[in-house]
Amino acid sequence: MANLKAVRERITSVGNTQQITKAMKMVSAAKLRRAQTAVQQIRPFADKQNEMLRNILSNLGDQANTTFGTERPPKKVCVVVVTSNRGLCGAFNTNVIKSAILAIEEKYADALREGNLTILPIGKKGHDALRKRYPNATIIRDYIEIFSDLSFDNVAQVSQRLMDGFENGSFDAVSVSFGRFKNAATQFPETEQWLPVPKIEASGKAKADYVFEPGMEELLKSLVPSILQTTFQKYLLDTHASEHGARMTAMDKATENANEMLKDLKLMYNKARQEAITGEILEIVGGAAALESA
């Protein structure tokens, strides 16, 4: 039977770990509420804007005077990988990284092979994993810590740099790998093409006749970048909420597992103590019997 002192130390250790996981769960739950509110506020607006943009560019075709909808062979590609800075959130980061790897090695295999792959990691976990996997890729490290300030103006610096790169030909395509938030227990890793703006197939329907006021060129010049920046902001807010949801769930499971371990260890301790007491009683009885027979 296990040594009593060793079992007592193990019980203390597991109890301390359980207190930590409980605290981390509470912290993540508090942060999740704020992050969930932020993503729920921006998602309907961003999705509707993005749908409108895709409809406009799909219907106008060559008439649309914007480079953001221009399809080019993806010879030079940038993949934005949005993960968390810290772990202890289950398989969340691993799943987002796997989604990015799948897109890189299947959709953008030519760019990877020719050394024209650029990776922009947001979050340390994605940076550390992809830097080792793709040593020949260009890594933009300027925005790893951007989760410390997710204000629109701060995030817009990243999206504007990517849009400038697409316009000047540094990138032929920009995709974003992120975690789409559904609820605290469910997050979906996804990789979406951000640039060029994906077209919507007309499916034989008549093209919409848009009326632009003041004018198409002037409106698209300000409207398209604004919509793209809002969509990019949504990617980060989605991932931020997903991270805290995944961590809260992981810490809740860890707390439950620690509770089960404590039950097993206490049972083991009680059995060991009873065995020790029984052994002592047997020694006393055996000694008394030996004295009587002497």
One DSSP character per residue, 250-289 reads HHHHHHHHHHHHHHHHHHHHHHHHHHHHHHHHHHHHHHHH
Rounded Cα distance between 62 and 56, Å, is 11
The tokens for 164 are 């400038």
Catalytic residue selected from 38, 89, 246, 258: 89
Exposed, middle or buried, 208 (CB in 10 Å: 0-12/13-18/19+)?
Answer: exposed
Rounded Cα distance between 79 and 171, Å, is 10
Q: Are 122 and 81 in contact (CB under 8 A)?
A: yes
The tokens for 270 are 């009680």
Q: What share of the chain is helix, strand, coil (3-state, %, to 5)?
A: 65, 10, 25
Question: Is there a catalytic annotation at residue 78?
Answer: no
> What letter would DSSP give residue 85?
S
* Beta-ladder partners of 120: 80
The H-or-E segment that residue 25 falls in is: helix 4-60
Exposed, middle or buried, 169 (CB in 10 Å: 0-12/13-18/19+)?
Answer: exposed
Contacts of 13 (CB under 8 A, 6+ apart): none
Residues identified as active-site = 89
